Amino acid sequence: MSEKLIEVVDTAGVVRLTISRPKALNALNSAVLGELETVLTELEARNDLRGVLITGAGEKSFVAGADIAEMRDKTPEEARAFARQALRTIKRLETLPVPVVALVNGFCLGGGCELALACDWAVASDNAVFGQPEVLLGVIPGFGGTQRLPRRVGPAMALDLVTTGRKIDANEALRIGLVNRVMPQAELEGYVEELSKQLAGNGPEAVRNAKQAVHDGMDQDLDSALALETSLFALGFAGGEQKEGMSAFLEKRKPNF
């Protein structure tokens, strides 16, 4: 049996996915994307899912990009099909109804950065390196980078990165809002444990609605987005979580979601 390209570890509904192609610094080829999509299909069917963490195998790289060897000889049509496969897979990761967090443990370049951008937030080890170096290969980002990067860090910084192809370190990534936290690689494990406990304990309906309000609202004008928020806020009162959460507060106990 061939080795798995995506390792899956489940801790009480918080699932850690590890992209495992360390000899190619976890570069994304169509086999990795296919396996990731199969895993996502399984995750979408679960109602006990509380969070997804995604990382790369080894201590050197999160994902060093789309696989350059696989791409070199593609025709435009084949390149389009490859980009579409990746966009579809990344979108499915992005729209999981739970927080999706990138644990960026090293190189996070090209398609790797685009994968991290589709996560709700990202935490980086202090040796992480980010960039959209596609222009240095004679192409542009094709896994969503020209669209998600400006939405995350603003158009000027996105244009700086996608037109120069320059790499930035973890602290610059933090400063521009590409990642939320930076920590020594040795502390990532502790963070995962703490975060997993937190995600496993929160009410899934409220978390799902909060995520949907932010994501869907970002694509709408302010008034429509505020109306969406109101709908999702009111919807929260239809389920059991709101009664339990508010009762627990008033009774000075921990909620049991």
Active site (annotated) includes residue 134: yes
| Active-site residue, from 3, 42, 77, 114 | 114
The distance of closest approach from Cβ of residue 222 to ligand HXC in the complex, given in angstroms and rounded to an integer, is 32
Q: Pattern 129-148, binding to ligand HXC, x per CB under 6 A?
A: ----xx--x---xxx-----
Q: Which is nearer to ligand HXC, 128 or 206 (CB)?
A: 128
Give residues 50-69 in contact with ligand HXC (rule: CB under 6 A): 64-69
Active site (annotated) includes residue 187: no
The distance of closest approach from Cβ of residue 97 to ligand HXC in the complex, given in angstroms and rounded to an integer, is 27
Asked if 57 and 23 touch (Cβ cutoff 8 Å), the reply is no
Give residues 191-250 in contact with ligand HXC (rule: CB under 6 A): none
Question: Which residues lie closer than 8 Å to 80 by C-beta, 6 or more apart?
Answer: none
Helix axes 145-153, 155-164, angle to 10 degrees: 140
Q: Applying CB under 6 A, which of residues 99, 110, 203, 204 lies at the interface with ligand HXC?
A: 110
Q: Applying CB under 6 A, which of residues 25, 39, 93, 100 lies at the interface with ligand HXC?
A: 25
Q: Which of 185, 182, 89, 108 is nearest to 149 (CA)?
A: 108
| H-assigned helices in 121-203 | 145-153, 155-164, 170-175, 188-201
What is the C-alpha separation between 74 and 40, in angstroms, rounded?
Answer: 27
Q: Applying CB under 6 A, which of residues 83, 118, 168, 232 lies at the interface with ligand HXC?
A: 83
The distance of closest approach from Cβ of residue 187 to ligand HXC in the complex, given in angstroms and rounded to an integer, is 23
| Active-site residue, from 44, 78, 134, 205 | 134
Asked if 57 and 7 touch (Cβ cutoff 8 Å), the reply is yes
Which residues share a beta bridge with 16?
Answer: 9, 53
Asked if 184 and 126 touch (Cβ cutoff 8 Å), the reply is yes
Active site amino acids:
114, 134
Site of interaction with ligand HXC (CB under 6 A): 24-25, 27, 64-69, 82-83, 107, 109-111, 133-134, 137, 141-143
